[in-house]
Amino acid sequence: MFPDKTRMVKIANLLLLQLAIAPVIFIVVAFLLELGGASLATNPGFVLQVLFVLILLSLAVIGITVFVQTSKSLMSGRVRYDPMGRAFQVMSLGAILSEQHAVFGLILTFLSGLTFYLVGFSLVAWTSLWWVRQRFMQSLGTLPNT
């Protein structure tokens, strides 16, 4: 999949940077939405129900992310013939799962018209991305320098 480790790290860092910038764009869009006074929900009880469901989904995504990042058996057959590709795929799957938190915040912001939901979920997304990157850097130490 990747000819050398440096190219893979460069591509991985670009992916992480793009996914870290996306919540900032979401926040700018949400701020403009809040300035316009637009929202899709008129019933605050509905927003609270959606918040509860999205918090549960967010906890499930955190659990899946932890499983993906710590599982030795996930794609274990691939370790033998493509260890760099496996490390990249595990990192990219964890990074994309981390981005889901910001999307959940964006959904709540569109429904309620309040930006603070997006900011809170974005903080979770950035923390999760940071943790995924730390795990990726740890796995790089075990890869050969080819």
Q: Which domain holds residue 128?
A: 5-140
Inside any domain, residue 113: yes
The residues, ordered by sequence, that sit 6+ positions from 54 with a Cβ below 8 Å of its Cβ are 104, 107, 108, 121
CA separation for the pair 46, 92 (Å, rounded): 34
Number of domains in the chain: 1
Inside any domain, residue 145: no
CA separation for the pair 1, 8 (Å, rounded): 9
CA separation for the pair 20, 35 (Å, rounded): 24
Chain position carrying tokens 């995924």:
132
Inside any domain, residue 23: yes
Model's pTM, two decimal places?
0.86
Per-residue pLDDT for the chain (146 aa), expressed as one digit of tens each? 566 788 888 999 999 999 999 999 999 988 887 787 766 766 778 888 999 999 999 999 999 999 999 888 877 777 677 788 888 888 999 999 999 999 999 999 888 888 899 999 999 999 999 999 999 999 888 776 65
| pLDDT tens, residue by residue, 73-115 | 877 777 677 788 888 888 999 999 999 999 999 999 888 888 8
Cα angle, residue 98 at apex, residues 8 and 128 outer, rounded to 5°: 90
